[in-house]
Structure 1
Amino acid sequence: MPEPLAVLHITDTMQAGGLERVAVNLVNLLPPDRCRALLCSTRRDGPLLEGLAPHVMRLTLWRRHRFDVQAINKLVNFIREQNIQILHAHGPSLFIAVVAAIFAPFPAVIWHVHSGRLAIGGRSTWPYRLVARRIKGVFAVNQDLADWACQKLHLPSSKVWYVPNFLSEDHERKPEKNINLPGRDGGRIVCLANLRPLKDHPTLLQAMDLVIRQASYAHLLLIGSTSNTAYLENLQRLISKYQLGKHVSFLGHRDDVMSILNSCDIGVLNSSSEGFPLTLLEYGRAGLPTVATRVGQCPEVLDDGRAGILVQPRSPTQLAEALVELLRSPDRREYFGKQLNCHVHEKFNQHHVLERFCLCYESILGGQKDTIPSSLEPSP
């Protein structure tokens, strides 16, 4: 039996973001008989380390800037010691991965691109074009990003694959009972998203101003990191402006997310851009009826409106109408909650996606690029 491939997943931090959660899910769940998965955080650690499986070997570089020589040396030495064959770089950690791969044993670099902003022109592409020739493959979390990698980085389609995020069965657990939350049954709306501009909480607050005029019992719970002080202060000003103090609660980062979701009535994600939001998979796991913006892969997760309500981004009126519709109809909430739960379990289960990752790793190292699947979309 061949030795498992040594694959080092690299992220900048272990903060509670979607990119980082995908990396942790992968190193925890890749089959050990085929992949020896390791994890490196280049800048700092964070709360996601608590969810790391005991068998996963890890490294922290504590780098101070992009090309910190001491951090790069530390990474290169670790690659040599562990005989790493593949560097699976998530997001901006691509650049340090490419530099480290210049040195023996010359591991292959695969880039996992998560940021939907790249596909809509939110960032300059020249740094990525500069290193594109050293990338052996690209995993894109939505089709727009896969197309962007081909068109803007001039990568052949044989090196670029759309691979959706998946629902990790590893975190299935029974929620706590009788959890104490603001609001009342039938009126709790939850938004699971770190407080940063791309999640567009200001539009959500505008929508809540409209919602409570028709459903005064509605209460919005915001779960996610509040480390962006300027953004948080702006949201607090808007809450004061719209007199929403009794209708909005900040819960911050929580370790009991599933318990909270199971005690809420509606899930909402109002992003202005997205890659493939894990939040919607979490809503589906909890059977929450969901409203989301038509960005990134949100339509796919909500089955193009058959498993949830899709609205246009930056439209407080549409968002409010959708939320009020669900608040007023327990039957609609039950229907959409069941539809989303079934859809995410059937289409975004971990087994199919993990198998495709292994196949791609093996094909890239074997030089058999014609055997790599052209699509990593799970079969329905």
Structure 2
Amino acid sequence: MRVVQIIDSLEIGGAERMAVNYANALSEKIEFSGIISTRKEGPLLNQIDRNVAYLFLNKKNKIDIKAVFRLRKYIRQNKVDFIHAHSSSFFIAVLVKLTFPKIKIIWHDHYGSRAKESKKENRVLIFMSLFFYSIFVVNLQLKEWSEKNMLCKRILFIPNFTLDRNELQRTTILKGTEGKRIVFLANLKKPKNHISILKAFLNLKLHELDWSLHLIGKDYFDSYSDELKKIMKSNSLEEYIHIYGERSDVKNILSQVSIGILASTEEGFPVTLLEYGLAELAVVCTNVGYCSSLIEEGMTGLLFNPYSENEIESQLMRLVDDNNLRKKLGINFKQSVLENYSEEMVIKKLILAYKE
């Protein structure tokens, strides 16, 4: 079997990390594994294994004929059987199929918000699904949406996974007191809902208890980012809430914290939660998307309604107040991730899905 992953960029994001994870893991299991970035490179380039065949298309426009034929050449030269197209990269995959009909396209939907969208908002995608061989989705709401709206009817749920491999990078040293650090690993944008967590941190006066909050993820320096910084500055929290931007040494960062938070108002299947689990963190998490399937309330983590300030504050304070609870949840969650979302288990399911 010969498979290439296609993704629009190699910046740090959930779909991007999964494309790299699939390419790396498959390289040890199948005859040929490749990965192509269509528009932009980024920090994840350094995480692609040497035995994965990489290509950067440098696509300039939505319809870039030169990029289409560079991709076609790569597929023919490497005798690729399947294009595994993640998120919006389905468009160039279909353009290639029009010039090379025998190639099979797997489209992988990571976008949790799509479950609330209309057919009209997705009319191009729905039309192009005529050319898909299969659709993979990251949660059951997306599966239901695709079954209802898409023209391709071979639809499968494939859970995410994260690679528990050693990272040599140890570049980020977090500020704050050891044992009292909270991490929020998500790009600074909607619907990640950072503001609710900043407000909870402030209302609970966690800084007075010497706790600190660490925001790891791309800063777009836009109105969303400005509002976060305004809250920090107006409440003199800069010493306790820290924004680091994009970082690639995630495993190293998570080894320095005690609590992991995710607060999205919309979510697919967050790889971040799996990373928290492998790091044995106590997790307090939104209940949207696949999160409530990943987290068992009170056993592997604590859940909250992202629109409820009271729930967020109550659940966060439970973890801050109880070191034994933090330890128990961290141990249980790591065990759950290893048992249910291991690389070996998911890749076996993925290969079977390619063959269906």
Q: Same fold (TM over 0.5)?
A: yes
Residue matched to 1:161: 156
Q: Percent identity?
A: 32
After TM superposition, give the deviation of residue 191 of structure 1 in Å.
0.5
**Structure 2 match to 1:131:** 128
Instruction: State whether structure 2 residue 337 is matched by structure 1 residue 344.
Output: yes
Other-structure match for 1:51: 47
Distance 1:306 1:154, change over 3 A: farther
Q: Who is 1:249 aligned against?
A: 242
> Is the aligned partner of 1:91 residue 2:84?
no
2:304 paired residue number: 311
Asked if 1 retains the 8 angstrom alpha-carbon contact of 2:21 and 2:162, the reply is no
Q: Which residue is equivalent to 2:215?
A: 222
Listed as ranges, the gaps of 5+ residues in structure 1 are: 364-380
Counterpart of 2:181? 188
The answer to whether the Cα contact below 8 Å between 1:14 and 1:46 also exists between their aligned partners in 2 is yes
2:74 and 2:124 map into 1 onto residues whose CA distance is 26
Match of 1:234 in 2: 227
**Offset from partner CA, 1:272-293 (integer Å, 9 cap, x none):** 1111101111111111000000
Offset at residue 214 of structure 1 (A)? 8.5
> How high is the TM-score relative to the length of structure 1?
0.88
Distance 2:200 2:33 in 1: 43
Matching residue within 256, 277, 280 for 2:270? 277
What's the counterpart of residue 264 of structure 1?
257
Task: For residue 11 of structure 1, give the secondary structure of its aligned residue in structure 2.
Answer: strand
Q: What does 1:200-215 correspond to in 2, within 5 Å?
A: 200-212=193-205
Q: Deviations over 1:69-104 (max 9, x none)?
A: 221121122222222211100000011101111112
Preserved CA contact (<8 Å) 2:12 2:43: yes
AA partner of residue 114 (structure 2): L
Q: Which residue is equivalent to 2:294?
A: 301
Q: Does residue 147 of structure 2 align to residue 150 of structure 1? A: yes
Shift of 1:117: 0.7
Q: Which residue of 2 aligns with 1:373?
A: none
Deviation at 1:32, TM superposition (A): 4.3
Could you tell me how far 1:256 is from its partner in structure 2? Answer: 2.5
**In 2 relative to 1, CA 104–155 (structure 1 residues): closer, same or farther, beyond 3 Å?**
closer
Given that 2:44 and 2:248 are in contact with CA atoms closer than 8 Å, whether structure 1 keeps it comes out as no
For the residues of structure 2 that align with 1:305 and 1:36, how far apart are their CA atoms? 43
Q: Which residue of 2 aligns with 1:323?
A: 316
Gaps of 5+ in 2: none
**How big is the alpha-carbon RMSD for the aligned residues of Structure 1 and Structure 2?**
2.0
TM-score between both structures, scaled by the size of structure 2: 0.94
Rounded Cα–Cα distance in structure 1 between residues aligned with 2:190 and 2:292:
21
CA deviation string 1:220-255 (max 9, x = no partner): 001111135332222111222343222200122223
Take 1:9 and 1:199, find their aligned partners in 2: how far apart are those partners?
Answer: 26
| Matched pairs, number | 355
Secondary structure in structure 1 of the residue aligned to 2:209: coil
Give yes or no for contact 1:35–1:358 (8 Å, CA) kept in 2. Answer: no
| Secondary structure at 1:101 match in 2 | helix
Distance 1:174 1:58, change over 3 A: closer
CA distance in 2 between partners of 1:279 and 1:160 (Å): 24
1:174 positional shift = 8.3
1:304 to 1:119, Cα distance in 2 relative to 1, 3 A: farther
Question: Partners in 1 of 2:32 and 2:44 — Cα distance?
Answer: 20
- Cα deviation for residue 257 of structure 1 reads 1.9
Structure 1 residue aligned with 2:30: 34
What corresponds to 1:358 in structure 2? 351
Query: Cα distance 1:155–1:30, how it changes in 2: closer, same or farther (>3 A)?
Result: same
With 342-351 and 96-105 compared, the bigger mean Cα shift is at 96-105
Q: In structure 2, how many angstroms separate the alpha carbons of the residues matched to 1:62 and 1:305?
A: 47
Whole-Å separation in 1 of the counterparts to 2:292 and 2:281 = 16
- In structure 2, how many angstroms separate the alpha carbons of the residues matched to 1:292 and 1:360? 30
Q: Distance in 2 between matches of 1:304 and 1:146?
A: 24
Does 2:63 correspond to 1:70?
Answer: no
Structure 1 counterpart of 2:11, one-letter code? Q
Give structure 1 regions of 4+ aligned residues with deviation exceeding 6 angstroms.
none
Aligned match of 1:375 = none
Do the aligned residues in 2 keep the contact of 1:212 with 1:218 (CA within 8 Å)? Answer: no
Shift of 1:215: 5.1
